[in-house]
Structure formats: structure tokens, C-alpha cells
Chains A and B, each alone.
Chain A
Amino acid sequence: DQQVKQNSPSLSVQEGRISILNCDYTNSMFDYFLWYKKYPAEGPTFLISISSIKDKNEDGRFTVFLNKSAKHLSLHIVPSQPGDSAVYFCAALRSNTGKLIFGQGTTLQVKP
């Protein structure tokens, strides 16, 4: 049972435009959500997070939006840069377990 889903395996955008990566979850007990960026043969690096009590968190070019009623979150990158090309994983956390549950990942390609 996939509790965290990223339904788009890949996304291609032009440099300077906005990239929007989507993530859906099924477990209403998740209380924290994180986005990680990953390059091949490397471990994930933390990007941005959001608590379930918020609906938006912004950090530079990265903004995460959370819609609890729809159990949906999205990561906006604007403007997109070629260096943003990587696999992006969303992850959900139940604080009392400490376990991160990952989505399948979305491969972002930013074209110059």
C-alpha cells in the first residue's frame, strides 16, 4: 500500500519557468512533510519541509504548499535552473514513529 504517491515520474521545464512537483498521501496521521533532492548513486539531501498545521512554507526559490483536506502537497521551484535537474522525493512523517515514508520520486529536467 503506497501511502505517499508521486504520480508523475518525470517533468521537463524550461529554464526560468516554474516547476511544480506534486505529491499525494493517504494517511491523515502524517504530521510533517519533507522534500528531498537526490542525484544518482547519492543519498537524498533535504530541501524544504512543512508542518501539517501550516499550508505554505517558503525558502528562497522553493515553496511547499499543503492542502490537508485534499491530502496533497506540492513543491514549486521558481525560477527553475538547470542545476535543479534531479530526482525529487516527497516524504511524510508521523512524529510519534519517526519513520519517513517516501513517494516514488519525480525526475525533474530543467532545459537551458
Chain B
Amino acid sequence: GAVVSQHPSRVICKSGTSVKIECRSLDFQATTMFWYRQFPKKSLMLMATSNEGSKATYEQGVEKDKFLINHASLTLSTLTVTSAHPEDSSFYICSARARWEVLRRAKVLFFGSGTQLSVL
């Protein structure tokens, strides 16, 4: 199946610093990428949808100035957690929708392996 690479897998940072998470589609072009956040023992919550070349669309309650999303190419999207605080500690996961018609019909999203962010 299609591969989505997410980096880093784990990051520990001090409060007030910014952290960048990368999401790459390795063998397909992703016109749309989604960013999710998971709290312990909770569901995956959609944070934002990013389309290549345009501004991201954020879900209600998600601070766009706190979580900066850039989707500069068809294979790369980045999430930057700015001025991170302990309450931003969470598991962040990206997913990608392939441009390929056959995959679009299958409605399947491919997920990255996630990034565990811990803010001290």
C-alpha cells in the first residue's frame, strides 16, 4: 500500500519553543493531507485539512496561529506547533489522500506513524 512517512516520531521540548512535524507521501502525490491529534485513550480528532498550494482549513476550536500548517508540495505537509505548552503534549498523526483515481474511489486514507510530542 501507499506509504506516508512522518517525522520525527518523538520529540521532547521546553515550553515556549516551536516544533515542526513533517508528513511526506513517499510513493504517491497527495493533493490533500489531514492532521489529527489523539489524547490518551481518546479518539483521533481532526485538526485541519490542508490542500496543496492553498491555506489549510481548520476545525472548530483549533487555533490556526498555534498550529501552523504548510502544504507546499504534493508530497509534503508540515505542522508547526508554535510556542508549545504542556497542554499541547499529544500524539499527532498526519494522513494523506492519494491523487490516484483508483485510491480516491476507495476512499482510503493512508496514515503516518505519528509524532509523540511532550512539552516540559
Q: Is the interface of A mostly helix, strand, loop or mixed?
A: strand
Stretch at the interface among B12-20, B63-71, B79-87, B102-110: B102-110
Q: How far is the CA of A95 from the CA of B109 in the complex (A)?
A: 12
Contact A46 B93, beta carbon cutoff 8 Å: no
Q: Of B45, B49, B107, B111, which one neighbours A32 at CB under 8 angstroms?
A: B107
Q: Is the interface of B mostly helix, strand, loop or mixed?
A: strand
What residues of chain B have their CB less than 8 Å away from a CB belonging to chain A?
1, 4, 6, 9-10, 32, 34, 36, 41-46, 49, 91, 93, 95, 97, 106-114, 116
Task: Give 15 pairs: A residue, B residue, CB < 8 Å, sorted on A.
Answer: A32-B107, A34-B108, A41-B9, A41-B10, A41-B116, A45-B111, A46-B1, A46-B109, A49-B108, A98-B32, A99-B46, A99-B49, A100-B109, A102-B43, A102-B44
